[in-house]
Structure 1
Amino acid sequence: MDMVRTKDLLENFTLTLVAGEDGLHREIITSDISRPGIEMTGFFEYYPKERLQLIGKTEMAYFLSLSDEQRKDRAERLCTDITPGIVISRGMDIPESMIEAANKSGVPILQSPRKTTRVISRLTNYLEAKYAPSTAVHGVLVDVYGVGVLITGQSGVGKSETALELVKRGHRLVADDSVEIRQEDYDSLIGNSPPLIEHLLEIRGLGIINVMTLFGAGSVRNYKKISLIMNLELWDEKKQYDRLGLEEETMKIMDVHVPKLIVPVRPGRNLAVIIEVAAMNFRLKRMGVNAAEEFSDRLTKMIEQEKDGLE
């Protein structure tokens, strides 16, 4: 998980430092952003001082309606020793009492020319991405027809070779060998490659190849949402594999259950084509078309008709 400091906001957004330069090193420990409206009235009992504070037009209008003594009191209580910063939206002028309190306590005041809703939306998205739960799995992530397919399996089963074939067929590589995954929202997993091995593919007997150099910039992606898991395993004669596709198995990664298909590997099977079809079939299911269920319904109707004919 990345550590975010107040100075990172200055580098990534159109913000201007107005006061509290000494506190730019402060760490932002949560993605939650507070709008201190009730605090402006003097009620600080539940003040979330560890959060980034955002003051919009409404909060500023109330602050300016206060007396000089009340302004000084509110500003000093807003600027605590752990408050990472105060963002003022709409490019509003900042009262001198707030600047003095910020400089005294070392709380950075950042001014934004954007509207309040736009500022809080962009800051929240940025912090949510930085503080999203993350993990890493062994596998290959490929974008196949717009579907993020995570190819897993034991070492040597042919994951990288399958990914190479998919890239040759026009699909895009995201990560090979190690896939870093972060959870965004409640049901979204975003995968990317570690910077050290980005755009690289390891093929046994051939070595490491740079996919972007060989196949062009259109053959790679920096990140992709994981929608389907294809687990490759060596063919086991004693194991019963799903032949209809009615069984829906999932794999849990952090808090998200991702659809999972088990593909047995044996000589003569074109895994790249199988994964392509699996991705297209997954898209069809999202659109409400399920070939396995349609076949099952047809079979059920035929059996019922046969029974009626015998009766």
Structure 2
Amino acid sequence: MAAVVRTKDLLGNFNLALIAGEDGINREIITSDISRPGIEMTGYFQYYPKERLQLIGRTEMTYFLDLSDEQKRDRARNLCTDVTPGIVVSRGMDIPEILIEEANEAGVPILHSPRKTTRVISRLTNYLEAKFAPFTAIHGVLVDIYGVGVLIIGQSGVGKSETALELVKNGHRLVADDSVEIRQEDYDSLIGNSPPLIEHLLEIRGLGIINVMTLFGAGAVRSRKRISLVINLENWDEKKQYDRLGLDEDTMKILDVHIPKSTIPVRPGRNLAVIIEVAAMNYRLKRMGVNAAEEFSERLTTMIEDEQKNED
């Protein structure tokens, strides 16, 4: 599902004022890259990235103001193309009338920001990268457990939502149930959230749809969370050999990111919520350098070696 971002969307998300070029407010922004037209101010437009949002800071504006009126007109006309989504002027600087005239003529919005240039470019880039990030949706439940984003997956009817309800009752926070929208906002970072239609809702078979925020309060939900661990619930298979030590680390590839995955067999009498809580805590310990399975393996190896030495 491709994101569609228009220049007018920036007005609603940032402290920006529309100064000129109102006719182009519906222009589409097609890239998260932002250009600072420094070399273009000198008159060199051969490689001008006209499809990008343009940001004029103090350096560019100071150079522009030192040009002759004819040069200013030429630079402004070349900056304002038929595909340029907008020009952002930072630091609350006064905008030259020539630039306003050319922007109105070409229908290129000029957006005025009172903030520093670095702050503006950072916030705009983060916003656009999040909008254009690779996207997918997975059937499952996403819960924030002790600060760890745990994605619970498994075939329909295995008990994902019921487990999530018990986790919420234990003080953890629901992010999404049934469908988890996932965006890759960095090369190794996956952010999950709920579709707006089912946000804060949990479906329990036999009970129906419940509103977690209404029942348990605002502290029981959150809107988005980075996914750190995948828990796969599957019906117990007597013929299958399950990992009993935790030495084998499995992963699941979502988009371009490999996420640690554990498979938990489901059968009557097993408290899945407690097991998943421990899995989340164990994940945190591993990230801190504490691995119980490896420690046990080392102890066992040492014990076997000592016994062999004694026999010799």
TM over 0.5: yes
Structure-2 residue corresponding to 1:121: 122
Structure-1 residue corresponding to 2:268: 267
Please give the alpha-carbon distance, in whole angstroms, between the structure 2 residues aligned to 1:11 and 1:215.
Answer: 31
Structure-1 residue corresponding to 2:144: 143
5 Å matches for 1:261-300?
261-300=262-301
1:267 partner letter: P
SS in 2 for 1:285: helix
SS in 1 for 2:104: helix
5 Å matches for 1:210-221?
210-221=211-222
Structure-2 residue corresponding to 1:87: 88
Deviation at 1:64, TM superposition (A): 1.2
Structure-1 residue corresponding to 2:155: 154
Question: Gaps (5+ residues) in structure 2?
Answer: none
Structure-2 residue corresponding to 1:22: 23
Matched pairs, number: 311
1:93-128 deviations in whole A, cap 9, x for unaligned? 111211111011000111111000000001111111
Please give the alpha-carbon distance, in whole angstroms, between the structure 2 residues aligned to 1:157 and 1:267.
Answer: 11
SS in 2 for 1:258: strand
1:167 partner letter: V
SS in 1 for 2:71: helix
Structure-2 residue corresponding to 1:104: 105
TM-score by length of 1: 0.98
When the two chains are superposed, the root-mean-square deviation of aligned CA atoms in Å is 0.8
SS in 2 for 1:117: helix
1:247-290 deviations in whole A, cap 9, x for unaligned? 11100000111000000011111000000000000011111110
Please give the alpha-carbon distance, in whole angstroms, between the structure 2 residues aligned to 1:158 and 1:202.
Answer: 11
Identity of aligned residues (%): 82
SS in 1 for 2:105: helix
5 Å matches for 1:50-61?
50-61=51-62
Please give the alpha-carbon distance, in whole angstroms, between the structure 2 residues aligned to 1:154 and 1:5.
Answer: 39
1:172-220 deviations in whole A, cap 9, x for unaligned? 1111111111111111111111111111111111111111111111111
1:18-69 deviations in whole A, cap 9, x for unaligned? 1111110101111110000111111111110000000001111111111111
Deviation at 1:2, TM superposition (A): 2.9
Structure-2 residue corresponding to 1:9: 10
Structure-1 residue corresponding to 2:251: 250
Please give the alpha-carbon distance, in whole angstroms, between the structure 1 residues aligned to 2:196 and 2:18.
Answer: 31
Structure-1 residue corresponding to 2:235: 234
Please give the alpha-carbon distance, in whole angstroms, between the structure 2 residues aligned to 1:99 and 1:36.
Answer: 16
Please give the alpha-carbon distance, in whole angstroms, between the structure 2 residues aligned to 1:123 and 1:196.
Answer: 27
Please give the alpha-carbon distance, in whole angstroms, between the structure 1 residues aligned to 2:43 and 2:218.
Answer: 56
TM-score by length of 2: 0.98
Please give the alpha-carbon distance, in whole angstroms, between the structure 1 residues aligned to 2:214 and 2:101.
Answer: 55
Please give the alpha-carbon distance, in whole angstroms, between the structure 2 residues aligned to 1:130 and 1:19.
Answer: 25
1:65-98 deviations in whole A, cap 9, x for unaligned? 1111111111100100000000001111111211
2:198 partner letter: I
Please give the alpha-carbon distance, in whole angstroms, between the structure 2 residues aligned to 1:19 and 1:216.
Answer: 45
Please give the alpha-carbon distance, in whole angstroms, between the structure 2 residues aligned to 1:65 and 1:299.
Answer: 77
1:211 partner letter: V
Please give the alpha-carbon distance, in whole angstroms, between the structure 2 residues aligned to 1:237 and 1:124.
Answer: 52
1:71 partner letter: K
Please give the alpha-carbon distance, in whole angstroms, between the structure 2 residues aligned to 1:91 and 1:55.
Answer: 11
SS in 2 for 1:263: strand
1:213-260 deviations in whole A, cap 9, x for unaligned? 111111111111111000000111111111100111100000111000
Please give the alpha-carbon distance, in whole angstroms, between the structure 2 residues aligned to 1:270 and 1:96.
Answer: 70
Question: Gaps (5+ residues) in structure 1?
Answer: none
Structure-2 residue corresponding to 1:48: 49
1:2 partner letter: A
Please give the alpha-carbon distance, in whole angstroms, between the structure 2 residues aligned to 1:173 and 1:16.
Answer: 37
Please give the alpha-carbon distance, in whole angstroms, between the structure 1 residues aligned to 2:208 and 2:100.
Answer: 59
Please give the alpha-carbon distance, in whole angstroms, between the structure 2 residues aligned to 1:177 and 1:10.
Answer: 33
Deviation at 1:160, TM superposition (A): 0.6
